[in-house]
């Protein structure tokens, strides 16, 4: 039964890892728009990742 001394902490560590991942996802805004996320997977093109390649040309001055 001494194996429990290793196994329980390992199990807890794995669980904490999952908890940490969830809290990170929550903090980084991935739960802000669940309805939108459900729809976005249906968009065909994948280039709509925000701010990946900022285009720096200024807007036209009118």
Residue 37: CB minimum distance to another protein, A: 8
Alpha-carbon torsion 5, 7, 10, 12, what sign?
A: negative
Looking up tokens 């980084």, which residue turns up?
A: 28
Residue 17: CB minimum distance to another protein, A: 10
Residue 15: CB minimum distance to another protein, A: 5
End-to-end CA distance of the chain: 78
| Binding footprint of another protein on the chain (CB under 8 A) | 1, 4, 8, 11-12, 15-16, 18-19, 22-23, 26, 31-36, 38-40, 42-43, 48, 50-51, 54-61
């Amino acid at each position: 039964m001494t194996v429990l001394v290793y196994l329980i902490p390992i199990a807890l560590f794995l669980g904490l890892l999952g908890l940490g991942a969830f809290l990170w996802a929550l903090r980084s805004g991935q739960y802000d728009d669940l309805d939108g996320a459900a729809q976005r997977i249906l968009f065909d093109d994948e280039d709509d990742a925000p701010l990946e390649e900022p285009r720096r040309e200024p807007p036209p001055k009118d």
